[in-house]
C-alpha cells in the first residue's frame, strides 16, 4: 500500500469520512504498532476526541484531533509499513484477521489492519519532523533538489529512497522516475549534470502526480460484479482506465519484459537489498 501516491489517495478518501466523527473507544490488538505509546495512554488521549482533518506528509498520515475538556488538539500519526490498510466499516461487522487498532466511531469504526505489522499508529511525531521536503510542494524547487544531491557519491536510486532527502518516494516510484528521466539507477547522485537533475525533478513529480490521478496502485474494491466485470474503484475515485494502474508501470516488477519505449528487456538489480528495475538501453 505504501508510497506517497497511495497514501495521498487514501487520505483524500478518508478525510471526508472522518471529519467530525468522535472516537468512543480504542482497541489495540497489536501493541507493537502503537510503539512507543502504551494502549492505556492511547486510550486516554484519543477517547472522546473528534477528527478535525487528515493530512499527508511523505508516507505518513496525520490525523488532527480535537479533544474535549479544554485539552490541546492532538496529532495522531499513521504509517502503513509494507502491508497496512486503513478503512471504515459498519460497526457490528467482522474484524479482519490482522486488525491492529480499531477506533469505535459509534455507528462505524475505523480499522487499521496490517498483516505484517510493520506500520504504526501512534502519537509520536519525531520521524515526521525529520522528513525532507514534499516533492509536490512549491517549496521543492529544482534548486532545492539539485542542492540535496551535490557531494553525494551514493547511487541516485538510494538517494531517492532517503526520506530525509525527499519525502514519500518508495521502491516503485524511484525506479519509475529514473526510467522516465532516462537516468541509470547506479549513477552517483553528485555526478548528475544540472540538466539531469532538472529532468529527474520533473520526472519524479510527473510520476507521482500521474499515480495520484490514476488512483495509485492499490484498488480499494471492485464495481458491481466483482473482479470479473465492472470498473475498478480506487479509494472511491473512478479510474480513467479499466485496468489496474499497476499494469501501467514502465519498469517496476517487469524484469525480462520489453521496455515500453525501446523493447529492450527490462533488467532487475539489487541495491541496498532491494530490487531496482531499469532499461539498460534507455538508462545509459
Partner DNA sequence: CACCATGTTCCTTG
Partner DNA sequence: CCAAGGAACATGGT
> Active-site residues: which are they?
2-3, 59, 274
Burial 257-267 (b: 16+ CB within 10 A, else e): eebeeeeeebb
CB-based contact 76:63 (threshold 8 Å): yes
CB-facing half-sphere around the CA of 171: CA atoms within 13 A: 16
The residue among 133 and 170 lying less far from DNA, judged by its C-beta, is 170
Kindly state the smallest distance separating residue 218's Cβ from DNA, in Å: 5
Rounded to 5°, angle at Cα 52 from 50 and 56? 125
Kindly state the smallest distance separating residue 47's Cβ from DNA, in Å: 26
- Is the sign of the CA dihedral 219, 225, 230, 236 positive or negative? negative
Tell me which residues touch DNA (CB under 7 A). 1-3, 6, 32, 58-59, 79, 81-83, 97-98, 115-118, 127, 152-155, 158, 161, 163, 170-172, 217-218, 271-275
Kindly state the smallest distance separating residue 71's Cβ from DNA, in Å: 27
The residue among 175 and 283 lying less far from DNA, judged by its C-beta, is 175
The residue among 91 and 164 lying less far from DNA, judged by its C-beta, is 164
Burial 90-114 (b: 16+ CB within 10 A, else e): eeeeeebebbbbbbbbeebbbbbbb
For residue 82, give the C-alpha cell: 509494507
Kindly state the smallest distance separating residue 251's Cβ from DNA, in Å: 12
The residue among 105 and 113 lying less far from DNA, judged by its C-beta, is 113
Residue 272, helix vs strand vs coil:
coil
CB-based contact 226:233 (threshold 8 Å): no
The residue among 49 and 54 lying less far from DNA, judged by its C-beta, is 54
- Cα(34)–Cα(190) distance, rounded to whole angstroms? 38
Kindly state the smallest distance separating residue 152's Cβ from DNA, in Å: 5
CB-based contact 151:190 (threshold 8 Å): yes
Kindly state the smallest distance separating residue 23's Cβ from DNA, in Å: 25
CB-based contact 78:24 (threshold 8 Å): no
The residue among 51 and 60 lying less far from DNA, judged by its C-beta, is 60
Amino acid at each position: 500500500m505504501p508510497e506517497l501516491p497511495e497514501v495521498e489517495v487514501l487520505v483524500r478518501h478518508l478525510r471526508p469520512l472522518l471529519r467530525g466523527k468522535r472516537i468512543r473507544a480504542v482497541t489495540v490488538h497489536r501493541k507493537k504498532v502503537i510503539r512507543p505509546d502504551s494502549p492505556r495512554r492511547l486510550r486516554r488521549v484519543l477517547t472522546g476526541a473528534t477528527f478535525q482533518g487528515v493530512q499527508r506528509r511523505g508516507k505518513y498520515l496525520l490525523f488532527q484531533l480535537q479533544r474535549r475538556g479544554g485539552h490541546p488538539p492532538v496529532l495522531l500519526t499513521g504509517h502503513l509499513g509494507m502491508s497496512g490498510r486503513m478503512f471504515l466499516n459498519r460497526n457490528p461487522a467482522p474484524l479482519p484477521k490482522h486488525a491492529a487498532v480499531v477506533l469505535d466511531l459509534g455507528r462505524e469504526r475505523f480499522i487499521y489492519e496490517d498483516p505484517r505489522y510493520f506500520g504504526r499508529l501512534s502519537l509520536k511525531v519525531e520521524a515526521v519532523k525529520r522528513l525532507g521536503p514534499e516533492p509536490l510542494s512549491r517549496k521543492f524547487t529544482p534548486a532545492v533538489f539539485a542542492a540535496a544531491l551535490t557531494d553525494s557519491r551514493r547511487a541516485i536510486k538510494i538517494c531517492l529512497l532517503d526520506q530525509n532527502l525527499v519525502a514519500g518516494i518508495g521502491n516503485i516510484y524511484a525506479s519509475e522516475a529514473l526510467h522516465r528521466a532516462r537516468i541509470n539507477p547506479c549513477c552517483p547522485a553528485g555526478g548528475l549534470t544540472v540538466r539531469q537533475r532538472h529532468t529527474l525533478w520533473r520526472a519524479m513529480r510527473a510520476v507521482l502526480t500521474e499515480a495520484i490521478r490514476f488512483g495509485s496502485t492499490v484498488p480499494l474494491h471492485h464495481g458491481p460484479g466483482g473482479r470479473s466485470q465492472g470498473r475498478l474503484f480506487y479509494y472511491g475515485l473512478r479510474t480513467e482506465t479499466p485496468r489496474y494502474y499497476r499494469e501501467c508501470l514502465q519498469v517496476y516488477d517487469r524484469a525480462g519484459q520489453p521496455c515500453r519505449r525501446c523493447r529492450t528487456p527490462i533488467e532487475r538489480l539489487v541495491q541496498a537489498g532491494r530490487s531496482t528495475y531499469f532499461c539498460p538501453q534507455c538508462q545509459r
